[in-house]
Amino acid sequence: MATRSPEPAASRSPLATTAQFLGLLALYLAFEWISVVQEYRGLPVTAWNPGLGILFAGMARGSGMATLALFCGALIAEATMVGSSETWREAAALAGLVTISYSLTAALARALRLDPGLQRVRDVALLLSAGFAGALLVGSTLALFLLARGLASPSDVSRASVPLLVGDMIGIAVVTPLVLRSSRGKIRRQLADTSFMAGVLAAAVVAVAAVWLVLREGDPRAYQSFYFLFLPVVFAALRNGLDGVCLTLAATQIALLACLNAYAYDATAFTNFQTLMTVLTATGLLVGAVSSERDAESRAASGARALLKEKESEAARADRFHLVTGLASALSHEINQPMTAARAYARTAQKLSESEPPDVARVRDYLDRSVQQIDHAAGILRSMRQFLRRGDLGRSNASAADILHDALTLVRPLASQRRVRVASEVERGLPPLHCDRIQLQQVLMNLAGNAIEAIDSARGAARPEGLVSISVRRGQEANQVEFAVRDNGPGVAPDFASKAFEPLATTKDDGLGLGLAISAGIVEAHGGRIWLHSGEPGATEFRFWIPAASRVQARGIAGEPE
């Protein structure tokens, strides 16, 4: 994640900029005054430098104001707070060393893409490394300064620089992450979270009590029991993440300094305990960062799963919508033919009944045909209901000859009306089919009806008598039964042949383009295949094959109609 750029100074008024600078400077000086424990060779020795931690947080964000406040604050502190004999020039040199050291390490951290929000373990480790590197750089340059000025021997330098090094390191480790995380809006929501605050308070109370128990005897060797503090700190890190452990560490550090002063521990003990506190702080921050990153990834994964479920639900709703739309179109297309025929038969019977004298025999014949067409439409609806209820076709054992016979019974009235002859041929000894016979009848009716309408549409041309031939024979393999519908119509255009079985593909002015697509779906649902065998004028032929029933299916399956 890219480092957030600091707010441009031009976007703030000079008065607001000045007030912010003075506030940072006053905050730094106040903490410097509180945290100064002793003086060595004119230098303030601090057990904890929280003011540096506050300003280093701003420097990690790239704030030039924080850098200027560090220089001015260090200059004032060096020249005035301890009452040293240094000149302002020497104080300015020391302040410059401190400011340049931490500016360089903060700039290096930003160059390595430090995220000031500390969202990942990498960012916490990078911040701690930058703070420790700055403290080491300050300690080294300070030692060289003292030696160059002849103000201390090498042994004295270690006595002065080590406490300063530890104080700066613990100041950055405890305060800087707390400041950076507190600047996020999320921390305000967490402070209002009862569960979060209960965990933080519990860990802080245990940590403070442990500090008091470890240090209350005033024994310098008590730091050997300091490791008990890892328990509440690690608990806070695991339960409340980085934000919780930052608050717990701040409470622990304050309690540690208060007990060290209350029980009169010397400067060496201060340094030893602060060194241990530095290790504890680094451990707690890294564990807290791991916990926060894990929780963030868990929330992201949960969000992704929720989004996936939402998208799956939307896709399911879309599928149901398309299914209902397709079924409505399919029903409209499939029922249209038998209902149209039934209507025509009924009207014919009506006219015959009104004639004088009425032809009762023909009236009955046409009424029987009308009822037959209505029964066929009811069969289509019944098959569709079974499909919707069970999600599968209602299959039973049937012979190919019976399926063809039933289809021809329904097709011949249309062929007679359009003056087209229909012929059929069935090979002997065909195996039975395990199928939905109404669905296969509909496929044959679609193919035959398309052939009849194609022949009728070409009546204007000089053509012989219209003929549709339907044959049933064995397929290329022994377990296949092949149906073929051939006509002597005008043929199929090459551009339409490539998309004949696609939905909405039609050559009719009033066609829906669903007949061949539905037929293909029925055949494929039965495990078969349909194709355009020939599109030549006078020799148009569609074919499809259906797998024959297995031996078990041929004997009949329990629970299925035969």
- Alpha carbons 123 and 175: distance in angstroms, whole number: 15
- Specify the pLDDT at position 222: 65
Hunting for tokens 């340059």 — which residue is that? 141
Confidence of residue 164 (pLDDT cuts 50, 70, 90): confident
Higher local confidence (pLDDT), 57 or 520: 57
Q: How far is CA 96 from CA 51, 52, 67, 76, 135, in A?
A: 16, 14, 10, 12, 14
- Alpha carbons 404 and 426: distance in angstroms, whole number: 9
Q: How far is CA 477 from CA 73, 116, 342, 486, 531, in A?
A: 95, 72, 39, 21, 17
Higher local confidence (pLDDT), 149 or 239: 239
Confidence of residue 330 (pLDDT cuts 50, 70, 90): low
Confidence of residue 444 (pLDDT cuts 50, 70, 90): confident
Task: Indicate whether 176 pLDDT > 90.
Answer: yes
- Specify the pLDDT at position 460: 58
Mean pLDDT, residues 454-482: 80
Higher local confidence (pLDDT), 458 or 176: 176
Mean pLDDT, residues 214-218: 70
Q: Quick one: which of 394, 482, 373, 501 has its CA closest to 438?
A: 394
- Specify the pLDDT at position 187: 65
90-99, 223-232, 539-548: range with lowest mean pLDDT: 223-232
Q: Quick one: which of 122, 40, 25 has its CA closest to 70?
A: 25
Bridge partner residues of 458 (DSSP): none
74-88, 115-129, 202-216, 420-434: range with lowest mean pLDDT: 74-88
DSSP 391: S
Task: Answer whether 0.85 is exceeded by the pTM.
Answer: no
Task: Dig out the tokens for 48 from the structure.
Answer: 């904890």
Domain covering 395-555 in this structure, CATH number:
3.30.565.10
Task: Dig out the tokens for 511 from the structure.
Answer: 């066609």
Confidence of residue 287 (pLDDT cuts 50, 70, 90): very high
Mean pLDDT, residues 370-399: 68
Give the pLDDT confidence of 72-131 residue by residue, as tens digits: 988 887 777 554 445 677 778 888 888 999 999 999 999 999 998 888 999 999 999 999
- Specify the pLDDT at position 312: 63
Task: Indicate whether 389 pLDDT > 70.
Answer: no
Interior CA angle at 524 toward 534 and 450, to 5°?
45
44-48, 57-61, 227-231: range with lowest mean pLDDT: 44-48
- Alpha carbons 306 and 316: distance in angstroms, whole number: 15
Confidence of residue 40 (pLDDT cuts 50, 70, 90): very low
- Specify the pLDDT at position 390: 47
Higher local confidence (pLDDT), 341 or 386: 341
Confidence of residue 188 (pLDDT cuts 50, 70, 90): low
Higher local confidence (pLDDT), 278 or 226: 278
Q: Which helix (H) or strand (E) holds 337?
A: helix 267-354
DSSP-derived secondary structure for 473-518: EE-SSTTEEEEEEEE-SS---HHHHTTTTSTT--SSTT--S-HHHH
Task: Indicate whether 5 pLDDT > 50.
Answer: no
Preceding amide of 490 cis, omega within 30: no
| Average pLDDT value for the chain | 78
Q: How far is CA 137 from CA 123, 157, 164, 272, 536, in A?
A: 21, 14, 11, 21, 91
Per mean pLDDT, which of 41-55, 477-491, 492-506 is the most reliable?
Answer: 477-491
Task: Indicate whether 309 pLDDT > 80.
Answer: no
Domain boundaries, the chain: 20-182, 395-555
